Structure 1
Amino acid sequence: MLKKLIQSIRSPLRRPRAVRTTPEVVGNHQHSLRREQFSRNAVNVVERLTKAGYQAYIVGGGVRDPLLGIPPKDFDVATSATPEQVRAEFRNARVIGRRFKLVHVHFGREIIEVATFRANHPVTEDDDTNNAHASRNEAGRILRDNVYGTLEDDAQRRDFTINALYFDVTGERILDYAHGVRDIRNRLIRLIGDPEQRYLEDPVRMLRAVRFAAKLDFEIEKHSAAPIRRLAPLLNEIPSARLFDEILKLFLSGKAERTFELLNEYELFAPLFPASAKALKDDPEYAGKLMRQALANTDERIRLGKPVTPAFLFAALLWPALPARVLKLQDRGMPPIPAMQEAAHELILEQCRRTAVPKRFTIPIREIWDMQERLPRRQGKKADLLLENPRFRAGYDFLLLRESAGEETGGLGDWWTDYQEASDGERRGMIRNLASQQEEGGSAAPRKRRRGGSNRRRRGPRTEGASSE
């Protein structure tokens, strides 16, 4: 199927439509950027390379974000100097990478990333097949990217117009090869070159388009958006470890909820979370509400500067796919707890094949889910032992998340909220009252759902949406 999809895309491989060979020069009277706004170390790198006879500019997000009034996360430099030449200029420099060689210049905790101008791999109409296979695999992915070129070449091979802006620190000018300043003003994400071809070169560009659109509150330009739904299956060929890294960038940027909406709009969520996408389709109200609430909680924690971890977030995104699997195993005669454990194991294993979730996250995911089975079991000393469990807070927050999505737990969240705030004597009374009630049984996963939520006061929801637990 994937091979047919690739063959259906325009062939042979061609260079993207050329960007301007002469840049539009945006003078300092036409924009608000001043060299004092940039990292002193980045400016120092540019000036030293320029003094040594090389071209050098601050490029990418370090230019784009200040134009939007956003503090840049870091600063990158593009230069005509090769990695070896850059290293020769800076004793505190280190060459990294093989497929794509870069230089990291270290200034204490700050690292300035320096990249040599790149050119597209030489592909001609007469000999495109041999040349293409020399630098790409059969699906068109670039296998090596150390063909150096000019500044114009470098602008052409960048992905989006808003990332092809070069800041000259000496004259405080912006060199704009692809109308990136205009697209920033119009709040558009636009690919440089032919969109189909650029997505074929690297399907992750579809995720990057979504990430930038969500992060910057931009729209994806219509021609750049048009092929995405059809080409979304190309993500199935991307290595699982790389997809995991991309998911972290997508959902831990502070715009996770908006990202989720765009991923679903462009049918990119299913290649990343196949089981969750199916659960979302089967029960859009419950699954959608739970996922969106978890993502909103994550965005809020990031906004407040609180620590986050992907474990809680993955637990929430995968949870809606779990109940049906638990019930299926129970129908075969498996007891509730083993059914929960087996279903969780299978679901996480499947997800890891798609996105290589590290063990340091899969273990707490399972512990959070396991806590959902243990929280209803409060008789005797079990409640106090659960409170001492290091994963209790994450499990409790997850319980509140389930209830906020409409899942009926018999008031379990309120009970645990009261229990945490009660005195020792009050806690003993609460345990005695449980003895007169029918013991809750069965799996936590398939509980009935309710509309709305309780009006009783809860602790939280701190809902980790990726908490530090």
Structure 2
Amino acid sequence: MTSREAALSVVDTLRKAGFEAWFAGGCVRDRLLGRQPGDHDVATNAIPDEVQRLFRRTIAVGKQFGVILVLVRDREIEVATFRADSAYTDGRHPDAVTFSDMESDVRRRDFTINGMMEDPVDGRVIDLVGGQEDLRGRLIRAIGDPERRFEEDRLRMLRAARFAAQLEFAVEPATLRAIARHAAALSSVSRERIKEELDKLLGAPGAPEGLRLLRETGLLRAIVPALADLPEADWRRTVGALSRMPRRPGPAALAALLHRLDPDPARNAALAEAILRDLRASNGERERVVWILARLDAAARAAAMKPSEWKPLLAHPGAAELLQVTRAVLEEDGGGSDGWALLEERSRRDDLDPPRLIGGEDIMAMGVPKGPRIGELLAAVREAQLNGEIGNPGEARERVSRWIAGGI
């Protein structure tokens, strides 16, 4: 069952019970743009208790705000009751909501392109805020007073830049000015929510323009002050490197974004790690980004690298992302691509991570007591193996015997 089919069944059940029910928000926008909606949300005048009575499987994810998840087979459909909001004291959620009608519900939403309702049966669109006109004009425009919209929910400012990047739209001037006036307030929003929006922006087709908006409005300073402080030339090259990456998996995009914090790769990686901790990046993502940044000079050293250096590098799970970021940075900086091409060619070899020839128990059987010496000898054997000096267990044991006899 598709998301649309599941949502349509929810609409049908609500209407048969005598309630209004419409597709709402992003799914309407995406259909009008000829895009495939990821999710289909439903808006209704049925209050949450009535929604729960009508559907057997529900989750009250935001009942106090009128939001119930209805489970239809393997789909989760968000059903929201028409509402009007009171003041937003915390700059994120309304202090209280009043269940109301469609017009009140539409006018408390964020942007005109997200404020349309659609009858999924006949395709009729209810547009009370000029969303269709702004779709044609490719504009992100706040509904009503932009100052009030951003005071209500500060994350909306970052969402405006994210939508501009995803849809490759411009932000309407009054909305843009309001963002610039309120940008500093974004720092009070949870870092997890900011990171989620930043990731979506970086992966969007118009990411370079989205980043320009962040810097131009002052939002970037509230997200990553170190990036806001970059000299203009370094900032242009940062955005340029990102624009040269057609696909931007999370760690690769973040590495490209943070690659010019310091000329020294090790110091740059340390600064990036602190930023990613602040943004509440997962341990795995943070470690991958730091690994990439600490090795961005690999292309410059490629020709001089021993196999024992480049084989582990290219066998690492992050090797493809390292090559992607390295290529983008080299192309943007106008550097030579010979080193990158050499690494890329080597990455296709099938002997990057051959089975180890001996283990710690083998070395202990040769008379070496348990301790750090075992690890040192194993590392030396692995280096010799990757460099092609030894190729089987017998040669490995012979090499270890010589090292032991020679006191190495």
Question: Same fold, TM exceeding 0.5?
Answer: yes
TM-score, length-normalised on structure 1?
A: 0.67
Distance in 2 (CA, whole Å) between partners of 1:258 and 1:86 is: 41
Alpha-carbon shift at residue 351 of structure 1 (Å): 4.3
- Does structure 2 retain, via aligned residues, the 8 Å contact 1:294–1:401? yes
Match of 1:320 in 2: 260
Match of 1:49 in 2: 14
Larger Rg: 2
Alpha-carbon shift at residue 347 of structure 1 (Å): 3.4
Alpha-carbon shift at residue 154 of structure 1 (Å): 0.6
Distance in 1 (CA, whole Å) between partners of 2:337 and 2:262 is: 20
Alpha-carbon shift at residue 146 of structure 1 (Å): 4.1
Equivalences for 1:25-424 in 2 at 5 Å?
39-97=4-62, 100-121=65-86, 132=87, 136-137=89-90, 140-144=91-95, 146-169=97-120, 172-279=123-230, 282-284=231-233, 286-297=234-245, 300-301=246-247, 309-323=249-263, 326=264, 340-341=265-266, 343-353=268-278, 355-372=279-296, 376=301, 378-379=305-306, 381-406=308-333, 408=335, 411-420=338-347
Distance in 2 (CA, whole Å) between partners of 1:184 and 1:399 is: 37
Cα distance change of structure 1 residues 388 and 251 upon mapping to structure 2, 3 Å threshold: closer
Distance in 1 (CA, whole Å) between partners of 2:13 and 2:261 is: 55
Name the aligned partner's letter for residue 107 of structure 1. Answer: V
For residues 182-228 of structure 1, give each alpha carbon's deviation from its aligned partner in whole angstroms, at most 9, with x where no partner exists.
33333332212211121111122222222333333333222222222
For residues 52-103 of structure 1, give each alpha carbon's deviation from its aligned partner in whole angstroms, at most 9, with x where no partner exists.
1222111112222222222222211001122232122112322213664522
Distance in 1 (CA, whole Å) between partners of 2:121 and 2:297 is: 63
TM-score, length-normalised on structure 2?
A: 0.76
Distance in 1 (CA, whole Å) between partners of 2:192 and 2:32 is: 33
Structure 2 gaps, min length 5? 352-383, 389-408
Question: Cα RMSD (Å) of the superposition?
Answer: 3.1
- Does structure 1 retain, via aligned residues, the 8 Å contact 2:7–2:77? yes
Structure 1 gaps, min length 5? 1-36, 122-131, 302-307, 327-339, 433-469
Cα distance change of structure 1 residues 362 and 109 upon mapping to structure 2, 3 Å threshold: same
Higher relative contact order (CA 8 A, sep 6+): 1
Distance in 2 (CA, whole Å) between partners of 1:235 and 1:144 is: 19
- Does structure 2 retain, via aligned residues, the 8 Å contact 1:118–1:148? yes
Alpha-carbon shift at residue 51 of structure 1 (Å): 1.3
Cα distance change of structure 1 residues 251 and 38 upon mapping to structure 2, 3 Å threshold: same
- Does structure 1 retain, via aligned residues, the 8 Å contact 2:92–2:155? no
Name the aligned partner's letter for residue 388 of structure 1. Answer: A
- Does structure 2 retain, via aligned residues, the 8 Å contact 1:99–1:144? no
Greater percentage in helix: 2
For residues 240-269 of structure 1, give each alpha carbon's deviation from its aligned partner in whole angstroms, at most 9, with x where no partner exists.
111011112222233323322333343333
- Does structure 2 retain, via aligned residues, the 8 Å contact 1:240–1:352? no
Distance in 2 (CA, whole Å) between partners of 1:313 and 1:156 is: 35
Name the aligned partner's letter for residue 293 of structure 1. Answer: A
Distance in 1 (CA, whole Å) between partners of 2:192 and 2:112 is: 27
Secondary structure of the residue aligned to 1:193 is coil
Distance in 1 (CA, whole Å) between partners of 2:346 and 2:138 is: 50
Distance in 1 (CA, whole Å) between partners of 2:111 and 2:253 is: 29
Moved over 6 A (4+): 421-424
For residues 406-435 of structure 1, give each alpha carbon's deviation from its aligned partner in whole angstroms, at most 9, with x where no partner exists.
2657943243245446899xxx9xx99xxx
Secondary structure of the residue aligned to 1:372 is coil
Alpha-carbon shift at residue 40 of structure 1 (Å): 2.2
Secondary structure of the residue aligned to 1:381 is helix
Alpha-carbon shift at residue 234 of structure 1 (Å): 1.3
